Structure 1
Amino acid sequence: MLKYLLHLIWPSACPVCGAIGEDLCPSCCSELIVPSGPVCLLCEGSLPCPTHGNLEWYSAAPHGGMARELVLSLKYQGNGAIGLEMGIQMASVFPKPEHAAIIPVPLHRGSPRKYNQARWIVAGISKVWGFPIVDKLRWNKTLSCQTSLDGSGRTEMPENALRWDGPCLNGREAVIVDDVKTTGTTLYRAYRALGEARPDRVRFITWSRSVVEKKGGISFGT
């Protein structure tokens, strides 16, 4: 009854099943998850990667269908409750670190949005795992919105595009979180920015993994 009363004031319905009074049903979100990882962030090979080292990446679902629609709703309609539930379900399927700082990839400078969708996903992960959110990655200069760039444009991102303005992470694992991985360049730049923070270990988590064309066939997110 409370859900129906709240729906009259703040109308909401699950985008998957249409249930009234639900921003996103936990069961609906869970059913979308087809987890991948751990694999190498840059080449998606097995770990430890002989070429790239131990860049450990996990993703919850392929970037298509309803999994993609959730990202669009989160990013362009500002539905933070969807992001929170996505993060909760992600934390329930990926291995929990022993001691970690959870770090969202920051919103690009110059973005027209006033909110960071990755921050809402991180909030859900933090709620389940109980580790603090350390939102201290910063862009060094204004960059074009990444959604407007093709794969080559993304990989040309400057090496020092991001910097770390937070505390030393010695003794903790750094868990870097974003909504979607396409080429992995932004996540890798975040990893490089954490050098002076000296985390014991770094892993990457994204909600979805993009399907992109490459020579020899199709690959997820490379």
Structure 2
Amino acid sequence: MPPFCAKCGAPFGAGCCSGSVPCYALSLHEGISRDLLLDLKYKNVRSLGIPMGRLMGETFSAVRTDMLIPIPLHRSGRREYNQSLLLAEGVSLVWGIPAEGRMLIWRKNVDSQAGKTGPSRNMMAPDAMEASKSLDGMSVVLVDDVYTTGNTMRAAISAVERSGGTVSSVLVWSGRVPSQENEAAWKDIGIQTGRGAGGSE
């Protein structure tokens, strides 16, 4: 599918957000793509993570960046591993860029978004995450499993920027866009795959 704005989910370049960051999704969140992700996240099939990440790395063109940063596992999460870190490690094997899993953390007083619907998903504070000060002056690519409302990604981008870093782009396994929230913006755009983070492959 074409790149979209990591902050609001509209087609990238549509002038929707100031300082918009391009987000690249391997697929829509449906069918076998969704099934694989659910197996990775909720059925403890950890072995899927790195191969799925490798596929992301092979599909998206590598970009010039200092590191790959996965979205951290929420403090309240019970999973024994961070699926986004596994995806980032898979991308790292292809791109040759290090994946660092300790650059972002959730603040203690922020609840998980899992299971929330409607307006409650839109209540995440922009400072919900904190980033390492070592990111000052660095360019990073954020990696996550699925893009839904953009709340998590906005918080991650904000955290990196407050630490002096720059988010050059975002990679996700799947995306729930087009969606009801922005279907008007996507009306005349066909869904495509194989778009690279640095251009088509």
Classify the TM-score, shorter chain.
0.7 to 0.9
Alignment-mate amino acid for residue 186 of structure 1: T
Matching of residue 40 in structure 1 with residue 40 in structure 2: no
What CA distance in whole angstroms lies between the structure 1 residues aligned with 2:51 and 2:143? 15
Alignment-mate amino acid for residue 62 of structure 1: L
Greater shift, 130-139 or 91-100, is seen at 91-100
Across the aligned residues of Structure 1 and Structure 2, the Cα RMSD in angstroms comes to: 2.4
State the match for 1:99 in structure 2.
Answer: 65
State the match for 1:88 in structure 2.
Answer: 54
Matching of residue 123 in structure 1 with residue 89 in structure 2: yes
CA distances 1:199-218 after superposition (whole Å, capped 9, x unpaired):
34421111001254338679
CA distances 1:169-212 after superposition (whole Å, capped 9, x unpaired):
52x42111110000111011000001243334421111001254
From the superposition, tell whether residues 48 and 218 of structure 1 become closer, same or farther in structure 2 (CA, over 3 Å).
Answer: closer
Secondary structure of the structure 1 residue equivalent to 2:143 = strand
| Residue 48 of structure 1: how far off its partner (Å) | 6.7
What CA distance in whole angstroms lies between the structure 1 residues aligned with 2:50 and 2:82? 12
TM-score (norm 1): 0.74
State the match for 1:191 in structure 2.
Answer: 157
- Contact 1:175–1:205, Cα closer than 8 Å, also in 2: yes
CA distances 1:107-154 after superposition (whole Å, capped 9, x unpaired):
111112121111110110011111111221001124433220114222
Match of 1:73 among 39, 43, 53: 39
User: Percent identity of the aligned residues?
Assistant: 29
From the superposition, tell whether residues 151 and 104 of structure 1 become closer, same or farther in structure 2 (CA, over 3 Å).
Answer: farther
State the match for 1:140 in structure 2.
Answer: 107
Greater shift, 149-158 or 60-69, is seen at 149-158
What CA distance in whole angstroms lies between the structure 1 residues aligned with 2:89 and 2:139? 17
What CA distance in whole angstroms lies between the structure 2 residues aligned with 1:160 and 1:36? 29
Q: Which has the larger radius of gyration?
A: 1
- Contact 1:48–1:54, Cα closer than 8 Å, also in 2: no
User: How many residues matched?
Assistant: 184
From the superposition, tell whether residues 48 and 201 of structure 1 become closer, same or farther in structure 2 (CA, over 3 Å).
Answer: farther
Match of 2:76 among 104, 107, 110: 110
State the match for 2:26 in structure 1.
Answer: 60
- Contact 1:88–1:124, Cα closer than 8 Å, also in 2: yes
Greater shift, 42-51 or 62-71, is seen at 42-51
- Contact 1:102–1:176, Cα closer than 8 Å, also in 2: yes
Matching of residue 204 in structure 1 with residue 170 in structure 2: yes
Gaps of 5+ in 1: 1-34
- Contact 1:100–1:173, Cα closer than 8 Å, also in 2: yes
- Contact 1:87–1:123, Cα closer than 8 Å, also in 2: yes
State the match for 1:150 in structure 2.
Answer: 117
| Residue 93 of structure 1: how far off its partner (Å) | 1.6
TM-score (norm 2): 0.81
